Amino acid sequence: MIECRHPTSDERARFLDWMREHMAGTVEAVMEFLDLTWNGFAELFETVGEVRAVCDRDDLVGFV
């Protein structure tokens, strides 16, 4: 059964880690463009927009 739900705090941290890893070549330029530090971006991540965890039964399979 596929479920789309609010991520746990651990899953939110995993999502941020995944984003940083996949933006490795551009993260500094993006943060400079946004006039943010990575920590500032992480704080915005907690209050702006919405991320959902996608699960197949008990397995986290991605994010939306």
Instruction: Encode pLDDT of 16-53 as tens digits.
Output: 999 889 888 898 898 899 899 989 988 888 888 889 99
Half-sphere exposure at residue 25, Cβ-oriented, CA atoms within 13 angstroms: 0
CA angle 51, 55, 56 (to 5 degrees): 160
Higher pLDDT, 55 or 38: 55
Mean pLDDT calculated for residue range 49-63: 92
| pLDDT for the residue 4 | 95
| Structural domain for 56, as ranges | 2-63
Structural domain total, the chain: 1
> What pTM was estimated for this model as a whole?
0.75
Rounded to whole angstroms, how far apart are CA atoms 40 and 19?
14
Rg (CA), the chain: 13
pLDDT band at 2 (very low <50, low <70, confident <90, very high): very high
